[in-house]
Amino acid sequence: MNYRKCNPLYGYRWLAEGIKLFLSQPWPWLALTGATLLLLLLLSLLPVLGLVGIFALFPGIAAGFMFASREASAQRPIAFNHLTAGFRTAPRPLLAVGGLAFLVFFLALILITIGWREQFMALLKLAQSQTSDEAALMSAMRELTVPSSLILVVTLLIATATWFTPALVALRRVKVREALVLSYKAALANFAPFLVYGVLLVLLDMLVSFALRLLLSALRAIGGEQVAAVAAMLVTFPLVCAFLAAMLAAAYVSYIDVFETAPKPD
C-alpha cells in the first residue's frame, strides 16, 4: 500500500471533520465512548493486568470506532455492535498490535527505571514521607527530566506506529507488521498536519476547559458548592466522551486522506 503526504492544513480538516461526524449522531457516539471509558476505567483498577488489558483491547476498540466512523461518514446509523466490529473482523491481529505495543512500552519502562533507579527510589521515599519537603521533591523531579523525556519519546513512537494500524488491519486486512511500518512511515511523512492537528486539539481543550470553569464558578456563586459539584459530574463525563469521539472520528478521517482516495486535492 502507498500513503500520501498531506498539506499541513489537513490537520485542521481532520479535527473539523471529526467534530462534524460526532455532531451528525451525537447520542450514539456518546454511548459508544461512554461504554469504552467505563471499560477502561474498570480495567485500570486491576493492578498490572489492567494495564495489559488496556493495551491489548484498545486497538480492537479503536478499529470498532473506525467502522462506526465509516458508517457515520456514509450517513448510516451507528450502533453498539460497531464497538466489537474490529474484534469480529480481525481479533488476533488487533490483539497482537496491542500486545506488541505493551511489550515495547513495558521493556522501555523497565530499562529506564533500572537506569535511573536511585532517582526513582528517592522520589518514591519523598512522596511517602509524612513531612512534606517541597524543595526536595522538586529537586528529585528535576533529576528525572531525562527518563521522563525518554518515556514520552517511547510513547510517541508507539502512537505513530499504531495511529493508522487499527484501520489498516480491520478495514484493509493488512498484516500486523506491514501495518505498523506503514503507520509509522505515514505518520512521520505527515508530521506537519499532525502538528497542526495537535495544536488545535490542545487549544480546543483549553477553550472547553475555560468555558467549563466559568460555568462551574457561576453555578457555585448562585447555588453553592453542592450544586457546582453535581453540575461538574453531570457535564464533565459527557464532555470527555464527546472529546474522545471527535478524536477517534478524526483518526478515521486522517486514515482516509492518507491511505484512501483523498476527497479534496492539496
- What is the residue-level pLDDT of the chain in tens, covering all 266 positions? 789 999 999 999 999 999 999 999 999 999 999 999 999 999 989 887 888 999 999 999 999 999 999 999 999 999 999 999 999 999 999 999 999 999 998 898 888 777 766 766 666 666 666 556 666 666 666 666 777 778 888 889 999 999 999 999 999 999 999 999 999 999 999 999 999 999 999 999 999 889 888 877 887 777 777 777 777 778 888 999 999 999 999 999 999 999 986 444 43
Is residue 239 situated within a structural domain?
yes
Query: Does residue 237 lie in a domain region?
Result: yes
**Contact criterion met (CB below 8 Å) for 230 and 17:** no
d(CA 258, CA 251): 11
Structural domain includes residue 38: yes
Q: Is 42 exposed, middle or buried (0-12, 13-18, 19+ CB in 10 A)?
A: exposed
In a domain, residue 113? The reply is yes
Whether residue 255 lies inside any domain: the answer is yes
25: alpha, beta or left? (left if phi > 0; alpha if psi -120 to 50): beta
- Residue 109 dihedral angles phi and psi, to the nearest 5°: -65, -40
- Taking a C-beta distance cutoff of 8 angstroms, is the pair 58, 36 a contact? no
**Does residue 135 sit within a domain?**
yes
What distance in Å separates the CA atoms of residue 264 and residue 252, rounded to the nearest whole number? 15
At 44, give phi and psi (nearest 5°).
Answer: -65, -20
Q: How many CB atoms lie within 10 A of CB 102?
A: 18
Helix (H, G, I), strand (E, B) or coil at 150: helix
Q: Does the residue 1 lie in any domain?
A: no
Collapsed DSSP state (helix, strand, coil) of residue 78: coil
Do the domain assignments include residue 4? no
Q: Which domain holds residue 198?
A: 10-259
Q: Give me 5's grid cell.
A: 503526504
Instruction: Domain count for the chain, please give it.
Output: 1
